[in-house]
Structure 1
């Protein structure tokens, strides 16, 4: 089994679809890596991952909005295709098993996501049962 984990920001609001009576939440995660090239210049490379999460727990979709930072884990799939100009292309897709909201942007400033974790049917479940995130000692 292959397993992939990604932490990144959502490129746009998620979309909830119904396929053959089952719900799927589709979203795209961007991970940007900063590095120095052989001449010592700072460079950035962004990898986009299309995510599909088959779940009945679609209540979390209201929180999967553009700019939010998420952790997603699941099985990777590479899809090959032919572009309109005849050249070959490929895309990276993640069949999601777990999603965790980490934070994001609201009005341009980073914010906490409220500590929601979703894993195999526990959408919107707080990560801690000890009260609101404001009460955490860190």
Structure 2
């Protein structure tokens, strides 16, 4: 039986605060980039360093929690899977992008406490069970401050929090 595995584990620092958007159907999605560094000595013994940037995508409550808990410079552990998708840019050119869809995020350093509710939150963030999500294109995601309301849909329930 043939098996396959698509698993990514990263430890790095956020290059900017996460950006929250909503799909047309109101599903929260956040994106951010993290930097990982590699150091080595070249043949002359000089220390070399290379920084690699990774785009992280998080969905639903994990997206909302990421925006609340993660800030530029935060050191995080990311666990997820690689996803490559194509889209057409504004000039009609077909582009391809590879991202990490995160399932788990762990904040690796203490964060400053700015309010009382922050002290009640734990640093580990986990996604719930995977659900079928249509893969969005960048143009399909709109940035808004609050998600559009859908009749009968509960958007925030403390009982559904993963911690």
Same fold (TM over 0.5): yes
CA RMSD of aligned residues (A): 3.1
**Correspondent of 2:123 among 103, 110, 116:** 116
Partner of 2:73, secondary structure, is coil
Counterpart contact for 1:60–1:124, Cα < 8 Å: no
Q: Counterparts of 2:82 and 2:6 in 1: how far apart (Å)?
A: 7
Q: Which has the higher contact order (CA 8 A, sep 6+)?
A: 2
The answer to whether the 8 Å contact 1:101/1:115 transfers is no
Q: Whose radius of gyration is greater, 1 or 2?
A: 2
* Cα drift, residue 73 of structure 1: 0.7
Q: Distance in 1 between matches of 2:17 and 2:110?
A: 12
Cα distance in 2, alignment partners of residues 93 and 11 from structure 1: 15
Q: 1:30 to 1:105 in 2, by over 3 A?
A: farther
State the alpha-carbon separation in 1 of the partners of residues 161 and 53 from structure 2. Answer: 24
Spell out structure 1 runs of 4+ moving beyond 3 A. 78-81, 89-92, 121-125
Please state whether the residue corresponding to 2:109 is helix, strand or coil. Answer: strand
CA–CA separation in structure 1 for the residues paired with 2:30 and 2:110: 19
More strand by share: 1
Shift, 1:26, TM fit? 0.8
**Equivalences for 1:21-40 in 2 at 5 Å?**
21-40=26-45
Aligned to 1:62: 68
Superimposed CA distance per residue, residues 85-108 of structure 1 (whole angstroms, 9 cap, x where no aligned partner):
xxxx975410111111112787xx
Q: Is the helix fraction higher in 1 or 2?
A: 2
* Structure 1 residues not aligned, in runs of 5+: 82-88, 107-112, 126-138
The alignment's TM-score, normalised by the length of structure 2, stands at 0.59
Give, in whole Å, the separation in 1 of the partners of 2:13 and 2:111. 9
Inter-CA distance 90–60: structure 2 relative to 1 (3 Å threshold): closer
Structure 2: how far apart are the matches of 1:40 and 1:117?
39
How many Å separate the matches in 2 of 1:104 and 1:46? 23
Cα distance between partner residues in 1 of 2:30 and 2:105? 11
